[in-house]
Amino acid sequence: MTTAVGTLYPEHSAIRDGRLSIGGCDAAELAQRYGTPLYAVAEDDLRARAREFTAAMPGEVVFASKAFPCTAVLRVFHEEGLSVDVASGGELALAQRAGFDGPRIILHGNAKSEAELRAATRAGARIVVDNFDELDKLERIEAPCEVMIRVTPGVVADTHAAILTGHAGSKFGFSLADAPRAIERLRASGWADLRGLHMHIGSQLFDLAPWRAAVEAIAGLGDFEAYDLGGGLAVAYTPDRRPPSVAEYVESMVATADEVLGPGRALSIEPGRALTATAGVTLYTVESVKDVPLKDGDIRFVAVDGGMSDNLRPMLYDAPYEADLIDRVGKAGTPCTVVGKHCESGDVLIRETTLPDPKPGEVLVTPVTGAYVYAMANNYNGVPRPPVVFCSGGRAREVVRRETFEDLYGRDV
């Protein structure tokens, strides 16, 4: 019997008698062919999400590439007509390799180097100016370019402090008090084409109300051709909390902008997580199962062959995840704590989930790992980073190879 997978898994996934497939590719066969840990991505989900955003949004949809800075992912969104934002020279190089050029590239960041700014102007990218020191650098370069001014609206959103970006204490952007002076300098320059204002209030946001407060805050800075409203739409990492739909999100953003700023503005939004998160899953092999007796109840540790080197989000943000065994997806089980292989007590992927009698050698899957997981992968304990495999129509293709031990010392001199 084949059934659709629950809401946490990619849309282009299925279960046959409890066995998971991604993009028509059997998860067990993927693990056997490519090894674990493994990032498996339903390519058609990426395209479907891009089309969902472009259908809803009357203006520009910009992929926040930091969510999944992989050439193959960037190439998909280039083919789907999205623009891209980059936050470093490396992300700029990846975007160019994927085919982006000109003002379809938007350079962000609070500490851009002069070299990065020069590379961006050579590429014809749009630059989001963050501070006066950066403005000094651009004046030295004096290369013609499109610019926007990032403004901190002083709005606090309901999200983790580490991904809150629009409050008064944020490291990003000009304050409302300083922004007029930056606007004046750019308008007086002979090289800057000042298109408008940029804002961003945070990531993984469920409540749309703070966006209205942010738009109202920047509206007093003047009348501009274009406004970038940022991103931050949440995704569901667990079944208990559902975010607004793409249509609800876009409709609310555009309606607020039309009402507060006036109709006819060129509007941009910058989804990242909302484009990629649910398209990806991570496959692990169970290495050990250990029951630890405690006064208030036993803990069953299920240790896998990855952890904080391939998914740092639980350690940084207390990010919640769920897990299944790939041949018994959705089956009832007992409480388990999924931990990684690294020499850190904090290397805990999932504090509590339920698994049906896991055994060493079985393959475990964690859904909703398509955003900020590959991006934050590292080599802690000398663990090579996993490969990325695209799955579509029953065919799998490796788009990023697994690192080798040789890669770990390949830069030695």
What does 68-81 look like in DSSP terms, one character per residue?
S--HHHHHHHHHTT
Number of H helices, E strands in the chain: 12, 21
Integer Cα distance of 21 and 25 in angstroms: 5
Query: Is 0.85 topped by the overall pTM?
Result: yes
Q: What is the pLDDT of residues 309-328, one digit of tens each?
A: 999 999 998 999 999 999 99
Per-residue pLDDT, 168:
56
Indicate whether 256 and 387 sit together in one domain.
Answer: no
- What domain range includes position 12? 2-42+277-409
Integer Cα distance of 40 and 369 in angstroms: 9
Indicate whether 224 and 242 sit together in one domain.
Answer: yes
Indicate whether 215 and 124 sit together in one domain.
Answer: yes
Indicate whether 105 and 250 sit together in one domain.
Answer: yes
Per the domain annotation, does 62 fall within a domain?
no
Per the domain annotation, does 79 fall within a domain?
no
Q: What is the pLDDT of residues 176-198, one digit of tens each?
A: 999 999 999 999 999 999 999 99
At which of 222, 240, 271 does a domain end?
A: 271
For residues 323 and 306, the answer to whether their CB atoms sit within 8 Å is no
Q: Residue 168's closest CA among 157, 153, 188, 158?
A: 153
Indicate whether 125 and 261 sit together in one domain.
Answer: yes
Whether 267 shows a pLDDT value over 80: the answer reads yes
Per the domain annotation, does 85 fall within a domain?
no
Domain count, the chain: 2
Per the domain annotation, does 298 fall within a domain?
yes
Per the domain annotation, does 303 fall within a domain?
yes
At which of 271, 287, 318 does a domain end?
A: 271
Active site residues: 343
Report the pLDDT averaged over residues 387-410. 98
Q: Residue 351's closest CA among 341, 363, 364, 338?
A: 338
At which of 271, 303, 335 does a domain end?
A: 271
Indicate whether 304 and 362 sit together in one domain.
Answer: yes
Per the domain annotation, does 322 fall within a domain?
yes
